[in-house]
Amino acid sequence: MKGLADKVAIVSGAGARGDGIGNGRAAALLLAEAGCQVIAVDRDIALAERTVEMIRETGGVAEAAQANVTTLSDCEAVVAYACKKYGGVDLLDNNVGIGSTGTVVTEDLDRWETVMRVNVDSMVNMSRAAIPEMVRRGGGAIVNVSSISALRPRGLTAYSTSKGAVMALTRAMAVDHGGEGIRVNCVAPGPVFTPMVEGDGMSEERRASRKAATLLKVEGTGWDVENAVMFLLSDAARYVTGQVLVVDGGVTLQGPSR
């Protein structure tokens, strides 16, 4: 992808169960393949290290970093590590997120706060730590991963609210930092099959139903999401900022009855 070679990229949520391909791992692998030097970040260092092993097996350059990205000091440590290893930061892919069910009446309030902290604060913290280094290097690009649940709520109120906040955060950051040469965009995935989804016990019937709900009648994967992220991080999107790119196979174009 144009303009990615020799860039330093931080990918949060870069681990995945086993050798599965989640959004973060797909991003780390694709960025390394494009010539980036990658910092693969995960709360579980073993998962991040497996991602790095996969990158190195194909000749890529990467290091693993353990961090709880809901903590600013951990995010600052990741950025400091990237600067120490590779001299700075150019790109940031904010992937971390968790789900939840319930309404404003039924949702546990502690869970509500946890969802907001993981899904929104993590992106604020990583961006807060990375942006000064991007400015020092003359600019950069950030992609925040949201969800179509922000556009089409479906009984996941805390999750939908947090992902809507990610979209608003993206636009605000684009305004705040465009003059510093930093582009900020957002990807909103639809139902994609990842190790996290599989680990949550999705049945084959439910998996088939999600596939059928798309206009294209195909199952989305982490690769689909992160190919969109790659475009937004690359110089091919040099004139694109503050935008939300929906990657859902057309799910949001159909009525609920379909």
Return the ∠ at Cα 244 (arms to 207 and 28), rounded to 5°: 65
Quote the CA–CA distance of 46 and 190 in Å, as a whole number. Answer: 28
The number of helices, as runs of H, and strands, as runs of E, in the chain is 9, 9
159: annotated active-site residue: yes
- CA-wise closest residue to 68 among 129, 126, 127: 126
The SS3 of residue 257 is coil
Q: 76 near 70, Cβ under 8 Å?
A: no
Quote the CA–CA distance of 101 and 160 in Å, as a whole number. Answer: 10
Q: 148 near 189, Cβ under 8 Å?
A: yes
The SS3 of residue 85 is helix
Q: What is the 8-class DSSP label of residue 248?
A: S
Catalytic residue among 81, 86, 159, 239: 159
User: What is the Cβ-side half-sphere exposure of residue 80, based on CA atoms within 13 angstroms?
Assistant: 8
Which H helix or E strand runs over 143?
Answer: strand 140-145
User: What is the Cβ-side half-sphere exposure of residue 107, based on CA atoms within 13 angstroms?
Assistant: 21
Quote the CA–CA distance of 39 and 86 in Å, as a whole number. Answer: 9
User: Any idea which residues carry the catalytic annotation?
Assistant: 159
